[in-house]
Amino acid sequence: MDIFAKCYAPSMADQAREQGIYPYFHALESRQDTEVIMEGKRRIMLGSNNYLGLTTHPEVIEAGIKAFEQYGSGCSGSRFLNGTLRMHLELEAELAKFLRKEAVVTFSTGFQSNLGIISAVVGPGDYVIMDKENHASLYDGCRLSYGKMVRYTHNDMEELERRLQAVPETAGALIVTDGVFSMGGDIANLPEICRLARKYGARVMVDDAHGLGVIGEGGRGTASYYGLEDEVDIYMGTFSKSLASLGGYMASSARVVDYVRHSSRPFIFSASMTPASCASALAALRILENHPELPQTLQSRALFMRRKLEEAEIRMRPSNGNIIPIIPIYTYEVIPTLTIAKELYDRGVYVNSSLPPATAPSECLLRTSLMATHTEALIEEAVGIIKEVLQEHDI
């Protein structure tokens, strides 16, 4: 059998293209902002993870330009060898201080961070216990490790306890959860997770890619939101969302971070963050530190949009996080979801389609996300268009 046979089999992508509702790879022609030019037309951007709106901040842009001029376009090597800049160390030190952890190690992407952390920490005979709605990169990190992965139903603490009870006493266990879940916009039950971890001698890792800059004191994330900073053993996060750049990090104790630096193959064998990316992330971090009101503004925008959607009688996925800027709207079936997303796009609103396997087959969603820089007027305009299109489809 030809190994390429799968590439030529009919697919959902083929069907969507044929029907003119293919939702991917629309080309931006402007900066990532609340309003963008995409394929020649103005669109209200409700599909970005640029939560604090810092991708267009003058200080972030200036920092990237200066780093490009000073250090060139890349580091041409891994952090382990020739690819460490003084600025990498500066970013790690400032981020560790901000997150109130002993140390931080940075990775070239957020996806790579999860691959590198889990594959290093979870070894033969260890167990990694995962929420079923965790990000795909966490699952791939488990596959790259030599441990045994078990899963529990989303935020089901009784099932999590049963999974922990089944771990042999001789095995290590790492509970891994998103802090803010990227599809549903809800928040992990971190107090109960930490309680169960203490009870059964497990460690806790939180993927806070969508929590940093969004919740917690000054935007410090999910553990800070719950007052559990000392009980979460590993934070993971990205620079591609609130911090307006590219890359990722792990924050933990100095000893654990040092172990990962010397054991993580995705870290050791990948080129380091580019100078411009590093400088931009550092500038964005300093803006967040100096402007703790930014996450509060973002939260107020989320509350405002939810209120407007409720007034329009638009059904959202239930969430325990009304202040989270990820707001999923039910559209139920695959083809109607893609059709509605296309019609919204044509009328000037960009949203993301959430389809199986990210959702159940009959629970497809339009995933909308906000920035602190969205105005209430823009949100009202977008909600009005969403309401019109959904009513035309009897949703």
Number of H helices, E strands in the chain: 15, 13
Q: Which of 88, 101, 135, 241 is catalytic?
A: 241
Report whether 198 contacts 224 (CB < 8 A).
no
The span from the CA of 299 to the CA of 370, in Å, is 9
- The HSE-up count of residue 220 (CA atoms within 13 Å, CB side) is 22
DSSP three-state, residue 76: coil
Show the tokens assigned to 338. 């893609």
210 is catalytic: yes
Cβ atoms of 226 and 206 within 8 Å: the answer is: no
Q: Which residues of 105-137 are buried (b: 16+ CB within 10 A; e: fewer)?
A: bbbbbbbbbbbbbbbbbbeeebbbbbbebbbeb
Q: Is 241 a residue of the active site?
A: yes
CA 252 → CA 9, 103, 215, 249, 256, distances in Å?
45, 6, 19, 10, 6
At position 348, the amino acid (one-letter code) is G
In DSSP terms, 130 is beta-bridged to 151, 176
Q: Which pair of tokens denotes residue 77?
A: 């090597």
Task: Determine whether 182 is an active site residue.
Answer: yes
Among 113, 119, 145, 182, which one carries the catalytic annotation?
A: 182
Of 163, 171, 227, 170, nearest to 194 by C-alpha is: 227
DSSP 92-111: HHHHHHHHT-SEEEEESSHH
Cβ-based neighbours of 366, under 8 Å, separated by 6 or more: 328, 329, 331, 337, 340, 341, 344, 351, 352, 353, 354, 386
Residue 332 φ then ψ, to 5°? 75, -80
Active-site hit among 210, 308, 342, 374: 210
Alpha-carbon distance of 118 to 99, in angstroms, equals 20
> Hey, which residues are catalytic here?
182, 210, 241
